[in-house]
Amino acid sequence: MPYPADLKYTKDHEWIRLAGEIAEIGITEYAQDQLGDVIFVELPDPGRRITAGEVFGSIESVKAVSELFAPMSGEVTEVNPALKDHPEAVNAKPHETWMVKIRVSDPQQVASLLDSTQYEAQTRG
């Protein structure tokens, strides 16, 4: 089981790890595998509000650029500083490499996300 059960997932291959009102957001193993070598991640500055289902950043790999979709709404509290120099961490440890932390504004939104079993089923299409 490559997809941790403590994460929730979007159909667009982001994950979110909720801890109280703060949540970490990253991309999944499936997403990093499809992208290939990640070169950099463009993320919103702390303080920016992001909206569930909308684009909040982008991720560039050698192959292509992909958009990042917010799993839940909230205000960005922190951007992972390690990604600037080590974007390849996204490839190496996708489920441990968070991109942004947000303070979620509507905890109920979690109900619309996929759990690890549902997400894994989706990746097998």
Partner 1 sequence: MAPYAGWDMPVEYSGITNEHLAVRTRAGLFDVSHMGEIEIAGKGALEAVQRISSNDAGALETGQAHYAGLLTPDGTFLDDMLVYRMASSHFLLVVNAANTAKDFAWISEQVKIAGDAAVVDSSSRYALIAIQGPAAREVLQPLTAVDLGEIRYYRFAHGEVAAARVTISRTGYTGEDGYEIFVPPNMADRVWQALTESGRSAGVIPCGLGARDTLRLEAAMRLYGNDIDESTTALEAGLGWTIAWKKSAFIGRERLIEQRERGLSRVLVGFEMLERGIARPGYVVRSGGDPVGTVTSGTQTPYLKKAIGMAYVPVPLAAPGSAIDIDIRGRATKAQVVPLPFYKRVMG
CB 115 within 8 A of CB 5: yes
> For partner 1, which residue of 2, 51, 65, 118 counts as binding (CB under 8 A)?
65
Which of the stretches 1-9, 11-19, 31-39, 114-122 binds partner 1 when contact is defined by CB under 8 A?
31-39
Please tell me whether residue 62 binds partner 1 under the rule CB under 8 A: yes
Please tell me whether residue 63 binds partner 1 under the rule CB under 8 A: yes
CB 2 within 8 A of CB 10: no
Least separation, in Å, of the C-beta of 99 and partner 1?
16
The amino acid at residue 26 is G
Q: What is the DSSP letter of 14?
A: E
Please tell me whether residue 121 binds partner 1 under the rule CB under 8 A: no
Beta strand 14-19 pairing with 100-104? unpaired
Q: What is the DSSP letter of 25?
A: E
Which of the stretches 23-31, 37-45, 106-114, 117-125 binds partner 1 when contact is defined by CB under 8 A?
37-45
CA distances from 84 to 10, 87, 90, 112 (A): 24, 6, 11, 31
Which of the stretches 6-14, 19-27, 60-68, 115-123 binds partner 1 when contact is defined by CB under 8 A?
60-68
Where on the chain is the footprint of partner 1 (CB under 8 A)?
A: 36-37, 39-40, 42, 58, 60, 62-65
